[in-house]
Chain A
Amino acid sequence: QVQLQESGPGLVKPSGTLSLTCAVSGYSIGNGYYWSWVRQSPGKGLEWIGEIVHIGKTNFNPSLRSRVTISMDTSKNQFSLSLSSVTAADTAFYYCTRNNNYSLDRWGQGTLVTVSS
């Protein structure tokens, strides 16, 4: 059974960089599928951030593209999100997901990241 688990700091200072990792179990991410990051805040609902596949190809939400990096480490079976120049508007629950059939079929439990000094 495929499981995803997010980890990373729960508090980031304004103008800093948010960094999260998603550990995947039950499936080797080097075998395929795209893997995404999605966030959810009360003010903006669910927002797709971007995705990556094992060959290194990425796609991003244009609204965040300039601040986002997504990378993958197949040897550790994990992928990561980096979001720079954060503000209070980036406070949200961050989820990692697996993409399948034009939908997101597996989700991590999510991690709350608060941007505050």
Chain B
Amino acid sequence: EIVLTQSPGTLSLSPGDRATLSCRASQYVMDTRLAWYQQTPGQPPRLLIYGTSTRATGIPDRFSGSGSGTDFTLTISRLEPEDFAVYYCQQYGPSPLYTFGQGTKLEIK
């Protein structure tokens, strides 16, 4: 099983700041098979990024993804109030097919 470790656990920033979230995999992950989600309270996760760097439909361009191999990054260039949420990375690979990181909580400083 590929284990995804996200850091930091909590990130405290202000609106307008730049956010950098990390996801490290215990084994190699193909770049087509790494995704990021955003979850706000009481809502299901929402797909932000798939294939490491492709934004999902309707996702603003302030969200970007990068990385390769075992190290991946989600960057939010300029935080809006609605961006404060929990973010998860997810990989598709060996059984189980889908695994998720434990999440990074982005909170208002």
List residues of chain A with CB under 8 Å of any chain B CB.
36, 38, 45-48, 51, 59-63, 95, 100-105, 107-110
Contacts and interface: CB of A to CB of B under 8 A. Distances in A.
| Most chain B CB inside 10 Å of its own CB: which residue of A60, A101, A102, A110 | A102
Contact of B50 (A38, A62, A105): A105
Contacts, number: 62
Contacts of A105: 47, 50, 56
Majority secondary structure of chain A interface residues (helix, strand, loop or mixed):
strand
B43 to A, nearest CB: 8
B100 to A, nearest CB: 4
Q: What bracket does the count of chain B residues touching chain A fall in?
A: 20 to 34
Given A102-B32, A104-B37, A105-B50, 16 more contacts: A36-B98, A45-B88, A45-B100, A46-B100, A51-B97, A59-B97, A61-B95, A63-B96, A100-B50, A101-B51, A102-B92, A103-B50, A103-B51, A103-B92, A107-B46, A110-B44
Nearest to B97: A59
Interface string B36-51: 0100000111110011
Contacts of B73: none
B44 A45 contact: no
Contacts of A107: 44-46
Contacts of A63: 96
19 contacts: A36-B98, A46-B45, A46-B88, A46-B100, A48-B98, A48-B99, A62-B95, A62-B96, A95-B45, A101-B32, A102-B33, A103-B47, A103-B51, A104-B47, A105-B50, A107-B44, A108-B44, A109-B43, A110-B44
